[in-house]
Chain A
Amino acid sequence: MIAHEETFRQLMIKAQGGDKLCYASLLAECEKWLRRYYARKINPAAIDDLVQETLISVHRKRASYDPERPFLPWLAAIGRYRWIDSLRKIYRHEHDQLYEEMVADPQDEDVTAKVSLERLLGMIPARQAEVISLVKIEGLSIIEAAAKTGQSESLVKVNIHRGLKKMSALIESE
């Protein structure tokens, strides 16, 4: 089970004050939350690295959390930023099997839906979202994605570039 919003917030406030015990719990909970958050949104082989990079960002940027605001939208903004950054870096991976979607904690469903990565993908034009999913998440090559979508190879590249750019401008959108 993953902690609630208020638990996250209280742990983070203590962590900002230097409480190592609370910080250890917070990072462990963040690790679980992020693992679920990124499930099926990136090549499975890249999830471990992405979660760890995000935890390092949480650590480096912990002063940017405002204790008077909810914690999960802050974590999600950091998570989205790292996700788009990693999509920019990823090309093809040898793994093609996706993780099974992890069982969601019903208490967190609202927050997760609101800040989800699907939502971000849904905010860009469908043709851009489609090629980003195929190439960056499922690991198809540009040629394969072009064949599957009927777009030319150069259009696939342009749509990936434009889509990532657009998503990065939308990180803090609802």
Chain B
Amino acid sequence: MTKRFVFVACALLSSVASGSLFPAAADEPIKIGIPIGLSGANSVVAPSVVQSAELAVQEINAAGGVLGRKLTLDVADDQSGAAGAQKAYDNLIFQKKVDALITMETSAARNAGLPIVARGKTPFIYTSQYEGHSCSPYMYVDAWVPDQQVAPVVDLFFDQKKAKTFFLIGSDYAYGRGMLGFSKAYIEKKGGKVVGEEYNPMDASDWTAIISKVRAANPDALILSTAGGAPNVTLTKQYKAAGITAMVGNLGVDEGTAKSMGTDAEGVYISASYVSSLDTPDNKKFVGALKEKFGDKLLTPNDLSVPEYEAIYLYKEAIEMAKSTDEAPVLKALGEVSFQGPRGLIKMDKEHHAALTMYLGQVQGDGSVKVLSSFADVPPGEQCPKLK
């Protein structure tokens, strides 16, 4: 009796140690956590991101799932900030025990979540453009960094439009300062001159003093990087009303906001890895599937929602390559797999970042974005030299 007990106990212990006491049943779903700003600053864009995640999961499950298992989503509101992110990440990783996190976030929320991701050893795909140089062995990024986004706009102004003087205006936070800091270095490297660099608090709605400085400096071009939504609209309205006629490159405007600004945004240059009018079979298929699933509830797909869709497919590919959902082989595979999505072929093999095709666009009078030129496979530059 005792012998048998010891034997059983040993068997149990060894199976606990190897983590296979309750091996994942073939029909147990693979859980993907989405901590996201359903309220707060990101609440304008977050619902469209959730929609594209739902589409990806539906498509994958309809085609038989991953390794015979279904995918499920766990969406948690992080209120777009650090405090909310700590709760949301903790809840998803330690209570809901998700297999991976795939989401777009504010930089503040991402930075708050990363230590929790490291503690839970959970694979994390970050799907938002950001200021760059955030490195974690658990995090992969499939959206752009300043190195990829700034060059098309500045090159156009400097090389083709012969702009020599630039004035930079941004919102006062990590992303705004990161983007403009990179822009300044890039402009000066090319031989251009930055005649002003001004920041307004994120929630400020009055740009009077900054606009007067722009008028006094009389630059050839403005480079803007404000927080999305309201600050973008107020700044555009106010410089337009002040009669400023310099060329404008807006690094922070998305297609939807540009559309709502109508004629005030006309002529503004933008740079992005996705525009909804992309004339490729993959994009048409994606937009068609979205329309069919969401009908008149569809939110315009954008440069934040499309990377989410592709990242879920990349995670699927990585599980299939690793033949398991264990974090070590999945993390290794995430740097090797690729997926042909609406934005083209995406592969996160550049120090956990991805080379992306970037589009230079100009906002038209009716609010649509006309693509002027595209730049294939722009590399993200040196982001995380310690991660291979």
Report whether chain A binds chain B. Answer: no
Binding site for B on A (CB under 8 A): none
